[in-house]
Every structure is written in C-alpha cells, then in structure tokens.
Amino acid sequence: MKRKLIAISTVVALTAITATVVQAQFAKPDAAIKYRKSALTVMGTHFARIGAVVKGEVPFNKEEVAKNAAIVNTMASLPWQGFGPGTEGGDALPSVWSESAKFHSNSEKLQAATAALNTAAQSGDLEAVKKAFGATGQACKACHDDFRKKS
Ligand code: ASC
C-alpha cells in the first residue's frame, strides 16, 4: 500500500514538473506554433531581401546585406524551441517528432549555414555572399522537403 502511494505520488510529481517545464516556455501549444512560424517568417523575410541582391534585382549595399544576414543568423537559432512535445500541427509534418534526430540535425545544418552567410556578409564580399546564400537556401529546402506540409 505504502509502495503504491509512493509510486502514485512520484507520477503526480513528475507530471507536474513536466507541465511546468512546458509552460515555462509557452502557455499552450498554439503559442509554440505561433512562435515558431513567426521566427521562420522573420528569417525568411530577411533571407529574401538578401536573395533580391543575389539575383541582381536590388543593388548591392554592403551594410544592408550585413544587417539582414545578422538577423537571419539570429533568427535561425529560435524556431526549434517551438517544436516541443505536444506542439504537433501548423505546417509541421508528424516526421518532426517521429524523426526528431534528423530534424535536429537539419536545424544544426541550417544554423551552420546562416553563420557562414553572416560571416560572408560582414566581410562585404558579394561573391562569398552568393555562395553562402545558395548553401543556406539548400538547408532551408532540405528541411522543408522532409518536415513541412506541401502547400
Ligand atoms: C526563401 C524562403 C525559404 C527558402 C526556401 C529555399 O527565401 O522563404 O523558405 O528560401 O524556399 O528553398
């Protein structure tokens, strides 16, 4: 009897701790989904501004590209905390949770690519920016192919 009580109170305590940890990050799953979409939207917006320069649609302004790349690089570290347990939905495929090691590895590859893009942009070398932009786009695409709903 005593053992059963200890077992039950352990489960209750662990459940409470887990709930608190999830809640410390986001009030509810919808907030996590909104957060990760927002971070990805801001990242995509500033990435596209560099893309316009890379494609020759907008003249190369070193400072502007450097600012945009710094934002992309900062944003690249953020979305992942919004993909925690119990936050399935939005545009994310179930593979985010069932293949979490691969998802995590892809997120690290993206962050390595945006760090290189930022380094290139801060150097002001447009050719280096073009190369790093292409590599970053590949990292975006790799994850979208396997983990994002096709629209
Ligand atoms: C973008 C953007 C993405 C990536 C992706 C690259 O500009 O918003 O999600 O590039 O399309 O394949």
| pLDDT tens per residue, range 83-99 | 999 999 999 999 999 99
Q: Kindly state if the Cβ of 84 falls inside 6 Å of ligand 1.
A: no
Q: Tell me if residue 92 falls in helix, strand or coil.
A: strand
Q: Which of 1-15, 66-80, 90-104, 114-128 has the lowest mean pLDDT?
A: 1-15
pLDDT of 6 over the 90 cut: no
| Nearest atom, ligand 1, residue 47 CA | 7
**Structure-token pair, residue 73:** 């690089």
**Structure-token pair, residue 3:** 């053992």
Give the C-alpha distances (Å, rounded to integers) separating 57 from 30, 67, 114: 37, 18, 22
Q: Tell me if residue 148 falls in helix, strand or coil.
A: strand
pTM of this structure:
0.85
| Beta carbons of 87 and 32 less than 8 angstroms apart | yes
pLDDT of 54 over the 70 cut: yes
Band (pLDDT 50/70/90 cuts) for residue 151 is confident
- SS in 3 state form for 47-80? HHHHHHHHCCCCCCCHHHHHHHHHHHHHHCCCHH
Nearest CA to ligand 1 atom 7: 48
| Beta carbons of 114 and 76 less than 8 angstroms apart | yes
CA 131 to centroid of chain Cα atoms: 21
pLDDT of 60 over the 70 cut: yes
Nearest CA to ligand 1 atom 11: 141
| Beta carbons of 59 and 117 less than 8 angstroms apart | no
Q: What is the pLDDT of residue 33?
A: 98
Q: Kindly state if the Cβ of 11 falls inside 6 Å of ligand 1.
A: no
Q: Kindly state if the Cβ of 29 falls inside 6 Å of ligand 1.
A: no
